[in-house]
Structure 1
């Protein structure tokens, strides 16, 4: 069935929609309150930040999926498919590479280093200056991204309920700011797990009803094919094309590796697991969740196109932005089913609560650990608590204010991935320099970071000011031939006078680069500059680098020769990477040394005292006896 009646008045929530939405909202909040009360006596930072390192892989996997695939995916991805076709499905490729790299390259280093914040690693590997620089970038990135995440569900509420858009934005920010002060990581993880289930139920409900209204799945896919929506594989190597196989496979890998591999929110959940094995299981289970959500979003977009193929509500002026397509579609297909629109909005909105709350909490934690404690190391527990809460309020205000700017960033998917690419790419390059290249010194790390940030901000801001022409973005044809004719005196848009904009030469090349390459530009720029500066200023001596801070990737290529392995190690003594494999599980070790993978008998590892049989933890400076 086509949407020939799509010019009708936009529908709004009924009583049952409010009931369903409110019930799911209360349950989500109740989980957070439950854990806040349950864990109220466990006031240590270890319990609050990493759940005592006793989390299981299952809920952590659901939490990871819900955090990074919330309202932005529910609203934005179907709209992307509707407008540009199904090449977005190819994101299953970068998702796979990203999880493999995260679990096998980055996670082992973070987990075994005994750190809580990823930026502690940078101080251990380089120095405080590099750590502070990366922390500032993370704060900027997270505030920008959280603004988009707050704006997206508020847009959905505005479209389907008639709620005031900015009232919804500020209400979301206020609720999340309050919520993030209640519980620690356990509350966030279990709330995310519940919201992931709700997200899947919401998507499946839309898919089932949408398919029925479209005349069956086969009919919907035939119509999508006729509309060129199923042309998935485009092997054009032109980097200016928005979505091709290469931009998604290569650019998407760099972008999502910056999100997963070195992101504080991801790593914090992973190191909360009981063991490194549990953390890896969580990541690989999360990959399955990413695939499922991606498939649901893609098929939702195809079915939505089938429904609106003869009357595009965006082109017709019925809705004001592409990201309103999905909620408008939901209100259309569930017009006679009160309660189900409320379920969908809860699907988009509830996931945002946990994402934003986790972001605010992570921002406050990073700011407190990296800045406040560095300058005021002797704060009492009481002052530490009050300052942390004050930082939560501060970042809640900043993130909510950022949502206003998000309304000018275009589609929520492109905006969010552009932000991650702009900031996450250079930081990914920085951590890669530290983990993969033992000879990189702090000057190379800092110089590489500055270079990567400069390049990524240059291309991203240039692309925003001088957006790529339609010929490069390749939006597909949308029809309005069967729309109900609206009152033209009320709805006809006014035509602005033609303005000739002088586009610089770079606008057709550098500024038109696909947004998925922003992260690659920043990462590669950081790597190249960091390596060059390190060689010019004098490489770091391998013997001065702690082996657990380096991942000997050369082992993958030189597994047949110990000689070449040692050559690739650049002087780092990886033979002593593990000390305590057979260590008895004493209380002190459980409480935070963090070097779970170290093996027995290597008394020449820096920090190990063979006389006292003790090891000094690099991150906490605590001594563990064994």
Structure 2
């Protein structure tokens, strides 16, 4: 029986999962659930929000590095990037260069500020720097962005599993959502981190297995490289300044850096890991450790796209007639290696590992944001209005966090069904982080790097940038980007979304802040806590005041 999702074509076969494959998948699910149960009950369980949300701020750099990688190497990466290179050529390799800018920026600019403030939510920074309205705006944008991103991540392995099993999409999405929700609600951040450590091993080991066997099947590294070179698919350095083009050097380095920065630097999903570290040094070391790991893993994953092209463009092999290009990787694995007991199970376990780690991280982050940026500010506002003391009950907040985890898990499953109506995995992921992440990044960079920024100007800039980001995203979905008559912003590559929205938000924030300073002179005298600024600005400010006092 051949799955209706895919038409194999003449002489092609799909190998469905065997007993060992199901055993491997079951083991991954069991380990995830067992980790949640262990951390849910060991040493008294998760009884405080400090334990549940930031693991008592007790984690070392190595597990944090592994959980960061596991959280952001999702099925979107594992399935989507080989499909992009198979379809468009090897230019996507250039994307790896953006990490040479990305990780140093995070280590030296963002981590010292976040970790030094001892906060729980990234958006508490926005409250301290700009006030509650921007805290609420940042929290809302993050919640919206993360909810849709989790839905895409939950949908992506279901798309692959449907190819090699009789499971419908909705069944796979339901199981994945339930497992993630279960162990996250029980074990909190410690369960998320230690499950991610296991998933990191699964992802890295399986990727290595697939690239080695895939290269052997395609005729060796030299043959793969020569075939793609002869077909002009390795012209990596292309500089035309045309943001509507999908894969150029500037798109992939500048656009890739700006699209990745909101996710790795100011997203609660990442910041919460930095905050769980024992020290700033541990948090920074976790980022530096990710540089070689991410680089090597992306080289492997991207090279798989070249392998696919080489294999399917040599007779008698026939490219599969897939309904979505993101299915081609799982099709290749099933067709060529599905007869090997356990092989497909390991590959799908790799997809599950990426899904479980990303969803659990997203759920835990959304709980932290809900509690710290919505519930507690409302509680303080209500107490102030009624002129009564603020009632804080950490045990109740911890229980409330566990209930909210279940609610958000159900929402992510529901939204996963909407993801089936969207485009390719890579474009979906980048579009969401670009459109929503750019304005958020602008708020943080304004706050940390420009002392004259104020709440009114920054709030206006972030709001305008976010609206334009949504406009571009939905316009790009519903209009033909290849039609020259389509409105220009609807034709812009998703790789530029974050750059455009960040630039617009920053420009309007600067203008708005300066106008508001003239309208309200008290803003000029308003003191800024140096701890809210990047370290080199703190040094400059301190040196200035010391020189002034001495004079």
TM-score, length-scaled by structure 1: 0.80
Find 1:460's aligned residue among 473, 493, 496.
473
Deviation at 1:37, TM superposition (A): 2.6
Find 1:92's aligned residue among 92, 96, 108.
96
The answer as to whether partners of 1:425 and 1:523 remain within 8 angstroms in 2 is: yes
Give the 3 Å change call, closer, same or farther, for CA 235–6 of structure 1 in structure 2: farther
Find 1:546's aligned residue among 513, 521, 529.
529
Q: Show the counterpart of 1:223.
A: 227
CA distance in 2 between partners of 1:150 and 1:312 (Å): 35
Q: Show the counterpart of 1:324.
A: 327
The answer as to whether partners of 1:94 and 1:248 remain within 8 angstroms in 2 is: yes
Note the 1:262-411 alignment, pairs <5 A: 262-310=266-314, 317=321, 319-376=322-379, 377-378=390-391, 380-411=393-424
The answer as to whether partners of 1:209 and 1:333 remain within 8 angstroms in 2 is: no
The answer as to whether partners of 1:103 and 1:283 remain within 8 angstroms in 2 is: yes
Q: Which moved more, 1:48-57 or 1:38-47?
A: 38-47
Note the 1:237-248 alignment, pairs <5 A: 237-248=241-252
Give the 3 Å change call, closer, same or farther, for CA 126–264 of structure 1 in structure 2: same
The answer as to whether partners of 1:449 and 1:526 remain within 8 angstroms in 2 is: yes
Deviation at 1:165, TM superposition (A): 1.2
Note the 1:243-258 alignment, pairs <5 A: 243-258=247-262
CA distance in 1 between partners of 2:266 and 2:199 (Å): 24
Find 1:108's aligned residue among 112, 115, 118.
112
CA distance in 2 between partners of 1:341 and 1:575 (Å): 63
Cα shift readout 1:207-240 (whole Å, capped 9, x = no counterpart): 1111111122211222222333322111111111
Structure 2: runs of 5+ lacking an equivalent: 1-7, 380-389, 547-551
CA distance in 1 between partners of 2:10 and 2:407 (Å): 43
Find 1:185's aligned residue among 183, 186, 189.
189
The answer as to whether partners of 2:13 and 2:335 remain within 8 angstroms in 1 is: no
The answer as to whether partners of 1:159 and 1:327 remain within 8 angstroms in 2 is: yes
Deviation at 1:8, TM superposition (A): 2.6
CA distance in 2 between partners of 1:188 and 1:213 (Å): 36
Find 1:209's aligned residue among 213, 229, 244.
213
CA distance in 2 between partners of 1:414 and 1:574 (Å): 46
Three-state SS of the structure 2 residue aligned to 1:438 is coil
CA distance in 1 between partners of 2:239 and 2:315 (Å): 31
Q: Which has the larger radius of gyration?
A: 1
Deviation at 1:534, TM superposition (A): 0.7
Deviation at 1:514, TM superposition (A): 1.1
Q: Show the counterpart of 2:163.
A: 159
Deviation at 1:197, TM superposition (A): 1.1
Q: Show the counterpart of 1:119.
A: 123
Deviation at 1:299, TM superposition (A): 1.2
Cα shift readout 1:61-114 (whole Å, capped 9, x = no counterpart): 011011001211111111111111111111122122111111111111111112
CA distance in 1 between partners of 2:161 and 2:333 (Å): 12
CA distance in 2 between partners of 1:41 and 1:347 (Å): 29
Q: Show the counterpart of 1:136.
A: 140
| RMSD of Structure 2 on Structure 1 (CA) | 2.3
Cα shift readout 1:566-594 (whole Å, capped 9, x = no counterpart): 5xx4xxx47799xxxxxxxxxxxxxxxxx
- Structure having the higher helix fraction is 2
CA distance in 1 between partners of 2:217 and 2:253 (Å): 34
CA distance in 1 between partners of 2:285 and 2:467 (Å): 37
CA distance in 2 between partners of 1:504 and 1:86 (Å): 26
CA distance in 1 between partners of 2:91 and 2:316 (Å): 20
* Residues 1:510 and 2:454 aligned together: no
CA distance in 1 between partners of 2:428 and 2:34 (Å): 32
Q: Show the counterpart of 1:472.
A: none
Deviation at 1:365, TM superposition (A): 2.1
Find 2:37's aligned residue among 29, 33, 46.
33
Q: Show the counterpart of 2:382.
A: none
Cα shift readout 1:546-582 (whole Å, capped 9, x = no counterpart): 0000115568xxxxxxxxx85xx4xxx47799xxxxx
CA distance in 2 between partners of 1:368 and 1:270 (Å): 18
Deviation at 1:389, TM superposition (A): 2.5
Q: Show the counterpart of 2:446.
A: 433
CA distance in 1 between partners of 2:429 and 2:272 (Å): 21
Structure 1: runs of 5+ lacking an equivalent: 470-502, 556-564, 578-626
CA distance in 2 between partners of 1:67 and 1:366 (Å): 18
Deviation at 1:343, TM superposition (A): 0.3
Aligned length: 526
The answer as to whether partners of 2:159 and 2:169 remain within 8 angstroms in 1 is: yes
Q: Which has the higher contact order (CA 8 A, sep 6+)?
A: 2
Cα shift readout 1:254-305 (whole Å, capped 9, x = no counterpart): 1101111101111110121111111111001012121011111111111111
CA distance in 1 between partners of 2:464 and 2:169 (Å): 39
Deviation at 1:508, TM superposition (A): 5.1
CA distance in 2 between partners of 1:574 and 1:460 (Å): 45
Q: Show the counterpart of 1:519.
A: 498
The answer as to whether partners of 1:444 and 1:530 remain within 8 angstroms in 2 is: yes
CA distance in 2 between partners of 1:180 and 1:227 (Å): 47
Give the 3 Å change call, closer, same or farther, for CA 312–367 of structure 1 in structure 2: farther
The answer as to whether partners of 1:436 and 1:553 remain within 8 angstroms in 2 is: no
Deviation at 1:374, TM superposition (A): 2.2
The answer as to whether partners of 2:48 and 2:394 remain within 8 angstroms in 1 is: no
TM-score, length-scaled by structure 2: 0.91
Deviation at 1:313, TM superposition (A): 9.3
Deviation at 1:251, TM superposition (A): 0.8
CA distance in 2 between partners of 1:274 and 1:574 (Å): 29
Find 1:529's aligned residue among 487, 508, 515.
508
CA distance in 1 between partners of 2:236 and 2:36 (Å): 41
Q: Show the counterpart of 2:5.
A: none
CA distance in 1 between partners of 2:52 and 2:404 (Å): 16
CA distance in 1 between partners of 2:537 and 2:394 (Å): 45
